[in-house]
Chain A
Amino acid sequence: MYRYDAIDREFLTDRANEFRSQVVRRLAGEITEDQFKPLRLMNGLYLQLHAYMLRIAIPYGSLDSRQLRKLAEIARTYDKGYGHFTTRTNLQFHWIKLADAPDILDHLASVDMHAIQTSGNCIRNVTADPFSGATPEEIDDPRVWSEAIRQWSSLHPEFSFLPRKFKIAITASAKDRTAARVHDIGLAIKRDRSGALGFEVMVGGGLGATPYVGPTIREFLPASRLLSYLEAILRVYNRLGRRDNRTKARIKILVASLGAEEFARKVEAEWEAIGPGSDLPDTELARIRAAFAPTAFETLPARSTAFEEAKGTNPAFARFVRNNVKPHKAPGYAIVEVSLKAIGATPGDASAEQMEVVADLAERYGQNDIRVTHEQNLVLPHVKQDDLPTVYAALAAVDLATPNINLISDIIACPGLDYCALANARAIPVAQHIAERFADQDRAELIGELKIKISGCINACGHHHVGHIGILGVDKKGEEFYQLTLGGSGAEDASVGKVLGPALPANKVAEAIDAMVDVYLSQRQEGERFLDTLRRTGAAPFKEAVYADAH
């Protein structure tokens, strides 16, 4: 956890004060809603179907217990007792009153949090591998670089009025848990042959109406040159990105229309002209690295007897471990994924009580560290294996121990028509139906990794393009229909799914998925995931199964 210094704190205080004065002017009628809109959007405050929605930044998905407790307190005091974690690892409150918003920002600032740049055409919250500092696969800790970008991008004078919003993700191991290739910029931490640290730079990925997997424009950028290179990319985009048509304004359209090579050439020329003057001094990078609270790992045996015994005697715990517990770099420790996808619940929602339980567990058993994943779950990155049975029991007591990470019911869904003014169709009930149909845990494990992602409209906040099975809500003459896409992936093997066929009515979606799962189970070869089988066989047998009735 990056620890704020006086400068970081004063910055947030100034921001909260600025927003309070803007709200006061709005409530007094000194400015109109039209004039106020851009100001509130700079602070993550949207007007939705039923109320204001406040989107709070959780930089690179990293929280400590004090912060998560504060979010719980805000949920209880100013919302309906829960919050919604998003695919950008932020937290949204959907039932906010305008007059309360300044107080909420003060609360947030008191625990070093804010809502800066969670909306608007600016550089949004930077996301990073949720297993940072814990996974043995990691090349370097991406939080250090994410924090450097967070600071650099905060109220950036040149890049606060871009053609469109701008999202950056940093992945730090071969396994990509950030969907880096479908971001405006994806950074993959690497080492070159000499062992020097750097980044592979991917630009122009994205979802929405025109999905792209971002091409690599630089195989290796020396780490110390990160900010000047980002400045060059943003500058080329700020000058040349389209502003005449909102749907063509993302950087992916610029990269696609210029071609990756020509775009890269422009960036390199700009980077050359900018020079190293825009880079952070090494001393500041070292300071940021040191400002992260140290994690001290005890010397433990690689295998915990208590843990092994509990697995042997408690099958439910053993199942939880198989699906939600991941290897840690330190012997005797583990990474615990906390599922926010209980069967029948709203994906990504957490109640104030659940937040408090996770905060307590992090404090007692998890080095005070909590992460949010882009798949809308939480992570306790540093738990001793000895403590896993206790942590599991405490999570289970508040319905947070669903053993379904990466399984068919671990579904990403946007808020959809239940909340969002843009949606064409509901997403949450569809996710709930599917989860209920596959509630049998044995069957879910038999099926294995299967990523379903649901968006309520073409803006694709639910990432349907990169779902192994994607589901897109469409409006047909006032009725909700759902279009299926197959074969997408947001991971290191990123690809955009292809539309399977005509859209289905809501009550046929779960059935169609069941039919495709049956095809997979009958066709799969040793070790194949759903996605692997699909890639081998093509979509034909799946299409046949879904539309058999229609013939």
Chain B
Amino acid sequence: MPTLIKLEAGRFTRAEDPFTSVGDDQELPPGDVIISLTRFQNDGERLLGQGRALGVRLEPAEEAAALAYDLPRIAVVALAFPGYRDGRAYTSARVLRERYGFKGEVRAVGDVLREQAQFMVRCGFDAFEPADGATPEEWAAAAARFRHVYQRAADSRAPAFAEREE
């Protein structure tokens, strides 16, 4: 099991993962699960009726908009990075947070590296499964390398132009 790092109230901590990530060809175990968008669209209604928490994994080509009306019922959206160079999930994370006001967990899964921590945090990710073995401390340090940022994003950091007005 990969380490799960969660960002809560500005702190990065190692967390127990109550969710089991389940592939489309796997049997569903009991308890909280993260399933594909296809499986969610086919079977989500029934699973939600069972009283368990659901997470949905979006592959890079899948649009956050596909979940727009289901978001209040979903606990986790896991955004997949098949390779760190594939940056589509950054947009998905921002759209989930800024356009749809999603308050649940946005988790980075796949080729998730500490060098990308600052970008992920800024785009609204708050849970990370690092593929490079980064500890919460290392992840926190990587996310805090820059004292200033130049643009508004999905986090609460004040961009340089706002700092200048203070």
On A, residues with C-beta under 8 Å from B are 5, 7-8, 10-11, 14-15, 17-18, 38-39, 121, 151-152, 154-162, 235, 238-239, 243, 273, 277-278, 280-281, 283-284, 287
On chain B, the residues within 8 Å of A160 by CB distance are 87, 90, 119
In the complex, the answer to whether B88 meets A155 with C-beta atoms within 8 Å is no
**Given A162-B87, A239-B88: A278 and B152 within 8 A (CB)?**
yes
The docked-state distance in angstroms from the alpha carbon of A273 to that of B68 is: 14
The docked-state distance in angstroms from the alpha carbon of A35 to that of B116 is: 13
In the complex, the answer to whether A161 meets B160 with C-beta atoms within 8 Å is no
Interface residues of A: mostly helix, strand, loop or mixed? helix
In the complex, the answer to whether B164 meets A159 with C-beta atoms within 8 Å is no
In the complex, the answer to whether A157 meets B90 with C-beta atoms within 8 Å is yes
On chain A, the residues within 8 Å of B90 by CB distance are 157-161, 238
Q: A156-B150, A158-B153, A161-B119 are in contact. List 20 more A-B contacts (CB 8 A).
A: A7-B160, A10-B148, A15-B146, A17-B145, A18-B146, A38-B85, A155-B146, A157-B122, A158-B123, A159-B87, A161-B84, A161-B86, A162-B87, A238-B88, A239-B63, A243-B86, A243-B88, A278-B151, A281-B165, A284-B164
**Given A238-B87, A280-B161: A157 and B153 within 8 A (CB)?**
yes
Inter-chain CB contacts under 8 Å: number: 95
The 5 residue pairs across chains A and B that have the minimum distance between CB atoms: A161-B87, A157-B122, A284-B161, A157-B119, A151-B150
In the complex, the answer to whether B118 meets A10 with C-beta atoms within 8 Å is no
**CB-contact partner of B165 in A156, A161, A283, under 8 A:** A283
Whether, in the assembled complex, B115 has its beta carbon less than 8 Å from a beta carbon of chain A, the answer is yes
Chain A to chain B contacts (Cβ below 8 Å), 25 pairs: A7-B164, A10-B148, A14-B145, A38-B115, A121-B85, A152-B150, A155-B146, A157-B118, A157-B120, A157-B151, A158-B123, A158-B153, A160-B119, A161-B86, A161-B87, A161-B119, A238-B88, A238-B91, A239-B91, A243-B88, A280-B161, A281-B161, A283-B165, A284-B161, A287-B161
On B, residues with C-beta under 8 Å from A are 60, 63, 84-88, 90-91, 94, 99, 115-116, 118-120, 122-123, 145-153, 160-161, 163-165
On chain B, the residues within 8 Å of A158 by CB distance are 87, 90-91, 94, 119, 123, 153
A7 to chain B, nearest CB (A): 5
Q: Among the interface residues B84, B86, B122, B150, which one has the most CB atoms of the partner chain A within 10 A?
A: B150
A420 to chain B, nearest CB (A): 22
The docked-state distance in angstroms from the alpha carbon of A473 to that of B140 is: 49
On chain A, the residues within 8 Å of B123 by CB distance are 157-158
The docked-state distance in angstroms from the alpha carbon of A38 to that of B86 is: 13
In the complex, the answer to whether A11 meets B87 with C-beta atoms within 8 Å is no
**Given A239-B91, A273-B99: A161 and B85 within 8 A (CB)?**
yes
A531 to chain B, nearest CB (A): 40
In the complex, the answer to whether A10 meets B147 with C-beta atoms within 8 Å is yes
On chain A, the residues within 8 Å of B86 by CB distance are 161, 243
In the complex, the answer to whether A154 meets B161 with C-beta atoms within 8 Å is no
The docked-state distance in angstroms from the alpha carbon of A14 to that of B85 is: 23
The docked-state distance in angstroms from the alpha carbon of A7 to that of B87 is: 27
On chain A, the residues within 8 Å of B88 by CB distance are 238-239, 243
